[in-house]
Chain A
C-alpha cells in the first residue's frame, strides 16, 4: 500500500474520538506505524479497550482502503493530516484536532488571517444583509472568511466574501463532494475554483445533523476570531462560541434590537463581554491578526482563560455615525419630501406596506407610487410579498 492509503485509513477511521486518535498518533508517530503496530503495542498504550482494538484490527482491509483512496483521488479530493506539513497550523493547535481533513481547493489560504462567521440558519434579512456587508468588506482587505455553507448567515457570509473578490473557506458536515444544502450550489461551485471546501469526514459521508457541532469546532479552530452575526437565546451558534472560547479564540457579536429574538443570543454575548460588531472598519481597529506561531507558543492542550476583545467604551464610534449622517443627508437631498418620509419608515427589518401606510397616513395610491419610486432608485427592495426593506 502506498503512503497515502495509511493516511486515508487513519483519517477515515471514526471508531475512536479525535482526542484518542491524536494520542495514538502522538505515541506512534505516523499513520503507517499505527497501521503496522501489533495488538500488543495497542494494549501497551494503556488507553484503548479490547473492543476498540478489535475494531481497529477489523478495519485493516488493504483492498478496501486502496480502492477508497483511489476513488478519492479520482474525485479530485485531497487529504491532509496531522503528519503532513500543509495541515492548517491554527487547527493543529486545538486539543481535539481532527487527524485528517479532506478538501477541494487551495489549502494554503488557511494560513492567512481567518475570520469565522456563524449564525442562525433562519436569519432575518437584517442578519443576512449585514453578514454579507461584513464579509465583503473584510474579504476586500484580504481576510479569509470561514463559515459552514449552511442557509442563512453562513450562505450570506460566503456570498459576501465572494462579492468582495476574497477567499473563503466552507467547512462541511459531510463528504466534501456533497453540496448541502443544494440551494448553495452557486457558492459551492465558486469555492471549488476560488476557495476551499473541507471536511473531516471522508468522501461518501452523507451530511448529518449530528456532525454539525463537530464541524463548528473546526470553523472556530481555523479562525483567529469568531463573529456571531445572529443567534437566538438557545442556538447552535452558541455551541460554536463555547468551542471558540475553549480554543482561545476571540468572540465578536453583532448587536440587534433588544426585542428581536434572532438577536437575543448576540446581545447576551455582548453583555458577557464579547466584542461588539459595529462596522467592519471598527472591528479591524480592534483586531490584530495572530499568526499561527503565536498559538503554537501557547500551551495548546490546556483550556485557556477566555480572552475577550478589549472593550472600547471610551471611544464613541464617530466615524460610522458621521458617515451614516452624511449618507442620509446626501440621499435626503435628492429625495422629495414624501419620499424621504416614507424612506425613513423603512428599516433593515422587513415592513409591510400596511404598516407604513398606518405610520405615514398617506393615501394608498400615493404611498405605493412613492414606494415604487424608492424601489427604482434602489433604496429599498421587496423582501417578501408586499414587504420592503432598506438596501442602503
Chain B
C-alpha cells in the first residue's frame, strides 16, 4: 500500500512543500526512512515507532519505506514526525485517505504520542498557502502563530490519538482560547526622559528619517546608550508586508514567545560585543539568521563598537551595501534579508575621556589609542552617514524635570519625512535618502548656485572625499525633508557638514 501526505521543510527563512510518501510491502520487516535527511529527521523513525505503539497502533511486520520528496533538498527539523506517522498509518489503512487531501501536517512527536511545538510555523503556513493548501494540522501550542496567516484553516492538535480521531471521525478539536491583548504599556524609553542634548536628539531624528547609519562618540555616562534605546520609540510603523517579512525571521528563530502575534514594532537588536561573526551574520551548518537579519527593517545597535572583534564588525560592510547577507555553507547558499539601520556608540579612547570636558582624566597613551581605534576600519567609519560627538549632561539639565519633546512628536515628523521620500522614490528600487545612488543625486538633490558654491568651499576646508561629499548631500536632503522644504538650503548643508562622518584625523591633530 502506498499513501502520501504533505509537510514542509524550512531552509533559511523560506519554506517549501515536502511530500511524505509511505509504502508498506511484503519483504524483510524493516522501517526505512530516505530522502536526503539530516540527523534529526532520521531520528524521527524511532520517535514515530514509539509514539504509534503508545497510542495503541502496532507497526505491521512488513517492509516499510518512507520517502521525503523531493529527494534532492536537505530536510531539517523535527516537524516531519507527525506527517511520517500519519503517512505510515494511512498506508496501513488506518486512516481514511480522503481526509488527507488538502491538508498539511506539522509537528514533532513524543514517545507517548504527544505532539510538541516546532519553530518556523509562519513560513511553513505561508508556503502552504502559496501551494494552494487550505488546512494545516499543527501542534496546539503553535496555533496562534499559524493563525497569523489569513485565509487558512488551522487545526491545533495535542496528541496522535486526537489526530486520528479528527481525521477519521471528524471529532471536533479544542481551540485555544483567544488570549486578550494585555494593555501593557510599552517599555521603550521615551525621548521625553532625555534632558538637554538637542544636538544629539536632532541627529537621531535625521538618522531615523532617512535611515542613515549613525555613530555616537563620547565619554562614559554621556547618555549614548540611553539615547540609542529611545530610538525605537520614534521609528515609523511597519506596513503589513514588512511585518510578515520580519515575523518570518523571528518564527524561524523560535523567538515568538508564548503569545505570538505578527511583529508590528520595528526590531531593535543590541547584541553584546562578545558576539561571534556567525552570531552577527547568521551561521550554523544549516544557517540560522544572525543579529543583522533579526534587525531587518529595524535598528541594529552596537554599543562599544571598538570592543567588538574586528573580523566581526567588518562583516557588516557587505550587508550595509547590499541590504542582504549571503551565507554559504556545505548545505547550500542562503540569503537572509538584512536591511537595517546601524546605530553605534563608542568612546574616543580606552578610558573614554579623550578630548572631552574631562580630558585631563585621560591617561591613555598614543599607542593605546591607536590600538583602540585600529579595531574599526576607515571603510566602516565611512559608512556612517551621521556622526556626532556627545558631551556629558550638565547639572542643570539633569535636574530639569519635563518640558522635553516626546517621542510621539518626533515620530510625527519622521513619518512625514518618510512619506515625502516614499513619494519621491515611488518609481525607484530604493526607499530612503540614505540609499540614493551617486548617479541619482543630481536628480533628487539639486543644489542652487549659492549651495553649490558653499559645498565647493567645504569640499576643501573639510577635506571631503567623493563618498563623504555624497553622504553630506544625502543627509542634507533628509534635513530639508524634515522641514518640508523642497530645495536643499545652505543651512541644511551646514548642519549636514557638522554631522559628517568621523575621521581619524581628529585624533591625530589632538595627539600631536
Contacts and interface: CB of A to CB of B under 8 A. Distances in A.
Given A151-B512, A183-B512, A384-B355, A368 B491 contact: yes
Nearest to B490: A369
Nearest to A355: B391
A64 interface: no
Interface string B478-512: 00000000000011101101100010001011111
B360 A385 contact: no
Given A385-B217, A386-B199, A369 B494 contact: yes
A9 to B, nearest CB: 36
A219 B495 CA distance: 47
A355 B356 CA distance: 12
B239 interface: no
Interface residue SS majority, chain B: helix
Contact of B498 (A128, A151, A156, A386): A386
Nearest to A375: B461
A122 B388 CA distance: 24
Contacts of B359: 124
Contacts of B226: none
A383 to B, nearest CB: 7
Q: Is the interface of A mostly helix, strand, loop or mixed?
A: helix
Nearest to B500: A385
Interface residues of A, number: 36
Interface residues of B, number: 37
A354 B461 contact: no
Contact of B512 (A155, A357, A369, A375): A155
A384 B93 CA distance: 80
B391 A181 contact: no
Contacts of B366: 151, 181, 183
A260 B199 contact: no
B360 A262 contact: yes
B196 interface: yes
Contacts of A353: 199, 498
Interface string A122-158: 1011001000000000000000000000011001100
A340 interface: no
Contacts of A354: 196-200, 390-391
Instruction: Name which of A152, A352, A353 has the most chain B CB atoms within 10 A of its CB.
Output: A352
Interface string A172-210: 000000000101100000000000000000000000000
Given A352-B199, A383-B510, A386-B199, 8 more contacts: A155-B512, A354-B199, A355-B394, A369-B491, A369-B494, A385-B389, A387-B355, A387-B389
Interface of B: 196-200, 202, 217, 348, 355, 357, 359-360, 362, 366, 387-391, 394, 397, 457, 461, 490-492, 494-495, 497-498, 502, 506, 508-512
Interface of A: 122, 124-125, 128, 151-152, 155-156, 181, 183-184, 232, 260-262, 350, 352-355, 357-358, 364-366, 368-369, 371-372, 375-376, 383-387
